[in-house]
Structure 1
Amino acid sequence: MVPGRPDPRLDRGPLPLRGFPVTRVVGTRPREDLDRGTPAGGEGWFERWCGDAPAERLAAVRILSFGFALVYLLIRIPSVLAVARLESSRFVPAGPVAVLSHPLSRSSLLILLAVTVVALAGATLGFRWRLSGPVAAVGVLWLLSYRLSWGQVLHTENLLVLHLLILAASPAADALALDSRHRPAARANARGWVYGWVLQLMGLVTVLGYVVAGYAKLRNGGLDWLSGDVLRSHIALDNLRKALYEEPYSPLGGWLTRYGFLFAPMAWGAMVLELGGVLALWRGPLRRLWVWAMWSFHLAVLALMAIVFPYQLSGIAFASFSRPEKLLASGHRALAQATGRPDA
C-alpha cells in the first residue's frame, strides 16, 4: 500500500462477515435470476447437458429413493434375518461382503439393520444428511449384498443401490429437508447444474444398465435372439423351473410359448428399448416415451415370468428423468385439503 493512495482491497466489494456462511453454491443461481431471465453466462457443454435443475427436484428424488429403500428394507427384514439360521457352509460372500471370512452373528446383523433403518429415515427426512445419507446408502448396499451371499445372486436391486450411493454423495438435502430449515432461503431456492448433474448421472447409470443388458442378449444369443427363439425358450424354462420347485410362476408366459410368432416382435422390442435408452439422456418427448416404454417392459416381465423389479415398477427408478417435485407438491396440497390445514 502506497501512502496517500486508497487501498485497492477496498474496491473488491463487501466481504462476508466472519461467522456467517456464504449462501451461494458453486454451479447454482438464485431462482430470482431465472425468473427475470438473467442468462447464466460462461456455461460449457457439460453445464448445458446437466441442465438447470432446481434444488427441490433433486431433493424430491432423494425423498422418493430413500423412502422407497426404507419401506423395501423393512419388508425384507424377515428375509435378511432368516439367513442367520442357515449353515455357514452356504455362505459365499458377494460384493463388499467379500471382506468377511465368516458370517455375521445375529446380534451384529440386528445392529446393522437398526443403524441402516434409522439412517434411511434420517436421509429421507433430510436430517443430518452428510451423515445419514452415506450411512444409509452403504448400509443398504451391505445388507442386500449379505442377503445375496447365501444363494442365487439377483440383479433386481442393483439400480436402487447405485442411485442411493449417487444421492448420498450429492447436495440432495439443500431443499425439502429438516437440515434446510437452518440454511439461508437462497440456497434452498437455488437451481443450477450442480443439481442437474446428479440427476443426469442417475439417468446415465440407469440407461447403461439397460444398454449392457441389451448387448449381453446379442452377445450370448446372437441372431437367434432376434428370431425370438431364445426368448421363447428362456420364458418356458424359467416358468417350468419355478413350477417344479413350487415357486410363483406365470401361467400366462407358459401358455404364450405355444405361439412362436409372438416372440420375434417381443425380442426386437426388448432390444430396441434397451439399446435405445441412450435417447433418454437428452430431454424431450423421446425421453418420456422411453420411460413409459421401460416401465411397461418391466410390467411385461412380471406378467410373463413372474419376476418383480420393485424399484422399476414403482416408477421411482425413473424419477430422475421427470419432475418429481411437482408430484410431491400436489400430494402436499391434497394432504392439506384432506386435513383442513392451510397449504403452506
Structure 2
Amino acid sequence: MSRWLTEAVPRGRIAAFRTVIYLFVAADLVIFTPWVRTRVSVPGELYQPLLVGRLLPLPTPTPALVAVIFWSLLLLALLAATGRAPRLLGWAVCALYLEWMIIAMSYGKVDHDRFGLLVALAVLPTAGRARHGDPTRTEAGGWALRVTQLAVICTYFLAAWAKLRFGGLDWLTGSVLARAIIRRGTDLADLIAQVPYLLIVAQFGIVAFELFSPLVFLLPARWRLAMVGFFYSFHVVTIATITISFAPHLAAMTSFLPLEQVRPVLWARRLAGRDPAGSAPTDAPQPSPADVDTGPVPAGQGTVGARVEQALDDQAPALGRPAGP
C-alpha cells in the first residue's frame, strides 16, 4: 500500500501541477469567488463559522481582515506558481486560502467542489523543489499527487453516498435535475428535458458514475486517462446544461494527467526559433584527451606520448635538431 501511495513521478509533473494549482487560486479570487469580499457587509451575527473556524478560533470577518487576506493571497499565489520557495510560499497560500474558504462557507452554504483543491494545497509544500521538464522521479511528489487524486475521487463517491443517505431512492426517481433546469438551466437543458424519462435515466447514471469512480485506480494507465477524460466530459455537460462548473475540482483533477508533457514556454521558444526542436544539448560532457581514440598502437611504440616522441625523432634532420632525448 505504501508503495502505491508513494509511486514516483517526474519532478516536471510536480512543477506543472504546482503552477496549475497556484494560478487557479489567483484566478479563483478574482473570477470565481470575488463575492467573498462582499461578506463584510453582512451583519456579524450572521457569521456562523464552520467547525474548523470554531476550533482555532478565527475572528469574525471585517473589511480590513478580508482585504489583507485577498491581496496577500493573490500576491503569494502568483509567486508560488513560479516554484520558488515551495515550502514557505506553499504553506502560506494553504493557510490563507483555508481562511478564505472558511469565510466563504460560514454563511449557510458549503461547496463540496473545494475539497480536492484544499488537499492539493495542503500536500504540495511537502513535494519539495521541482523544475519544469525535469525527468527525475520523486516519491514525495508522487505521494502529493496520489493524496490529491484520492481527495478527487472521494468527492465523487461521498457525493453519491450523501445523495442516497439524505435523499434515498427518491433522489434517483425524483425531480432533482428538473428543478435544477428550472432554476438555472440553459437552452440545451430545455431540449433535453423534453425527452421522456431522460432526466430520470441521467440521475441513475450520475449516482452510478460517482459510486464506481474509485475503479479509476484499478485501470491501466491508458484506460485511466480515458476515464479521467470521461470525468471532464461529465463536467462539460454539467456546465452546458445547468451552468455548474466545479472549477476547483477540475483543477485538482489535473493530478491524474501527465502534465510534464505540457510545456507552453518551451513551445513558444521553439516557435520563436530560439530553441529549435531536435537541437543538440549544449551541456553535454566533453570527452577528455584520455577518452579520444587515437587508433591502434603499433607493437613496440607504447603510449601516445611515446609515439609523439618517435614522430619527432623521425623528423629531427628536417627540423635541424639532434634525434633522441
TM-score, normalised relative to structure 1: 0.71
Distance (whole Å) between structure 2 residues aligned to residue 111 and residue 272 of structure 1: 43
**Paired position in structure 2 for 1:292:** 229
Q: Does 1:86 align with 2:42?
A: yes
Indicate the larger mover: 114-123 or 332-341. 332-341
**Contact 1:52–1:196 (CA under 8 A) maintained in structure 2:** yes
Distance (whole Å) between structure 2 residues aligned to residue 234 and residue 198 of structure 1: 36
**Contact 2:12–2:131 (CA under 8 A) maintained in structure 1:** yes
Larger radius of gyration: 2
Q: How far 1:251 moved relative to its partner?
A: 4.2
Identity level (%): 23
Q: Which one-letter code corresponds to 2:110 in the other structure? A: V
Q: 1:220 aligns with which of 163, 166, 177?
A: 166
Q: 2:69 aligns with which of 112, 127, 136?
A: 112
What does 1:243-258 correspond to in 2, within 5 Å? 248-258=184-194
Q: Which one-letter code corresponds to 1:193 in the other structure? A: E
Q: Does 1:60 align with 2:16?
A: yes
Q: 2:251 aligns with which of 316, 324, 327?
A: 316
Distance (whole Å) between structure 1 residues aligned to residue 39 and residue 168 of structure 2: 38
Q: How far 1:126 moved relative to its partner?
A: 1.4
**Contact 1:137–1:165 (CA under 8 A) maintained in structure 2:** yes
**Paired position in structure 1 for 2:205:** 269
Q: How far 1:143 moved relative to its partner?
A: 0.7
Query: Against the structure 1 CA distance between its residues 153 and 208, is the aligned structure 2 distance closer, same or farther, given a 3 Å change threshold?
Result: closer
Unaligned runs of 5+ in 2: 282-325
Query: Against the structure 1 CA distance between its residues 236 and 263, is the aligned structure 2 distance closer, same or farther, given a 3 Å change threshold?
Result: closer
Q: Which one-letter code corresponds to 2:262 in the other structure? A: L
Q: Which one-letter code corresponds to 1:322 in the other structure? A: L
Across the two proteins, how many residue pairs are aligned to each other? 275
Q: Does 1:326 align with 2:248?
A: no
Q: Deviations over 1:30-64 (max 9, x none)?
A: xxxxxxxxxxxxxxx53256433111112211111
Q: How far 1:222 moved relative to its partner?
A: 3.5
**Paired position in structure 2 for 1:238:** 180
**Paired position in structure 1 for 2:242:** 305
What does 1:1-344 correspond to in 2, within 5 Å? 45-48=1-4, 50-76=6-32, 78-98=34-54, 99=56, 103-171=60-128, 173-176=129-132, 190-226=136-172, 229-230=173-174, 233-240=175-182, 242=183, 248-282=184-218, 283-312=220-249, 315-328=250-263, 331-342=264-275
Q: How far 1:127 moved relative to its partner?
A: 1.6
**Paired position in structure 2 for 1:4:** none
**Contact 2:15–2:131 (CA under 8 A) maintained in structure 1:** yes
